[in-house]
Amino acid sequence: MQSLPVDRQKRLAPPIGSPRSTRRALAAAFASFTETAGALESSYAKLQTEVGRLRHELENKNRSLAQSLEENQRMRTYLVRIVEGLPCGLLVFDSGMNLRMINPAANRLLNAGGEDLLSPESSVPRLLGSLLAALPKEDFTCEQEWVVESPQGERTIGVTRACFQSVGSGEDSIFTLRDLTEAKQHEREREVSRRTQALAEVATLLAHEIRNPLGSLELFAGLLADALPNQGELQSWINHVQAGLRSLAATVNNVLHFHSQPPAQLLPVDLLRLVGEMVEFLRPLARQKEMQIEWRAPRERISILADPSRLQQAFFNLALNAFRAMSPGGTLSVRVCRRHDGPYPTVAVAFADRGIGISAENLEKIFEPGFTTQCTSPGLGLAVTRKVVEQHGGTIRVESHEGQGTTFTLELPIEGVEE
């Protein structure tokens, strides 16, 4: 091993001292080491305690955070269920009018054309875009209306809009949708009921005013018939007058009892005789209007249960409508035939004219009380006719083409048939 230079060896040599001083130095050093070790041990113990406290505190914080997250998730789920369970539709748009949220109710209301709206896209779906274009751009508390086509028909949707400040700098919009279809239907029904009630009140007043002089006319017609028993031609005209007065009396009674008619007194009636009497009564009126009546009675006898005066009034109303629809030279065709294509045998009585016809928009309204296209008609004839037919357990249907004519067909149950 290489030795150090002599001068360096001298410099590194330990100082020469007494053993006592050496022991004191060692003791002092050991005491200092012991003190330092104790301090380190104490500091380590404190550090462990602090670490344990921090670990416990961290565990508490983690538990609190987990509980908070769980509570937030429960609250989020709860709010989502509330939004999904709302009976009204809810749409949320961002400031760029991009759809951000839609609840199932809104999707049901708007998903009329099969377009999937449940998964919002970055842009507004086509159906929504066309509907939103008609709405004001700002808040509106007055409910607007959308009309949406659906497999069940037209639906009316009420829309309100509210704006709120989003997390960013933009302004989001909330649209609330409400199905107004049934409310609109009830409103129309209330309007029809109001009109019907008003018409009934006016008609009842007029009918009461007519009833008294009508009774006098019937009395005088009877006196004329008794006074001229052998005057054939005059007697025929008197019979027509009496039949007309009775028919008019039946009309007055129908008006008086339009809302609360007593049950019809149904008795066995020869239908062909009833129709024949109606045709004979109408022939003078047809001649006056320069029109014709085509009536060819079947050879068979058809018996039905009917109230003769009411059923004749229904026939009379249909014939008068035909005369009003035709110009001079027109022809009213009356046909009666049995039908066996249903669960029970029925008889069909058809009134066909070659008049102006009924427009498509009016075809569904003609049986409504008060609806009329004639300024001189109160609009009760077809309503009374339908009510009379229903009282007889029958149905009435109409077929019409503008400019070609109209056919009303009454289908009544047969009480008995004799060949």
CA dihedral 332, 338, 344, 349 (to 10 degrees): 10
Which of 36-45, 252-261, 306-315 bottoms out in mean pLDDT, i.e. has the lowest? 252-261
User: What is the predicted pLDDT for the residue at 293?
Assistant: 92
Higher pLDDT pick, 333 / 8: 333
Residue in the block written with tokens 């659906």:
150
- H or E element in which residue 350 lies: strand 346-352
Q: What is the mean pLDDT of residues 192-207?
A: 78
Taking only the tens place, the pLDDT of each residue in 216-248 is 887 887 788 778 777 767 777 777 776 677 667
| Strand 99-102 versus strand 89-93 pairing type | antiparallel
Taking residues 18-23, report their average pLDDT: 82
Tell me if the pTM is above 0.75. Answer: no
Mean pLDDT of the region 39-57: 90
**Pairwise pLDDT comparison (270 vs 84), residue with the higher score:** 270
Tell me which of 107-111, 264-268, 331-335, 415-419 is least confident. 415-419
Q: Looking at 21-25, 257-261, 317-321, 349-353, which range is the least confident one? A: 257-261
Q: How far is the CA of 261 from the CAs of 87, 191, 391, in angstroms?
A: 42, 22, 10
Structure tokens that stand for 287 in this block: 């001649």
Going from the C-alpha of 214 to that of each of 199, 252, 276, 308, the distances in angstroms are 21, 10, 25, 20
List, in sequence order, every residue forming a beta bridge with 293; answer none if it has no partner.
Answer: 332
> Which of 399, 314, 415 lies closest to 352, judged by CA?
399
Q: Does pLDDT of 109 surpass 60?
A: yes
Closest CA to 145 of 178, 114, 185: 178
Tokens of 143: 């409910």
In this predicted model, which residue has the larger pLDDT, 367 or 132? 367
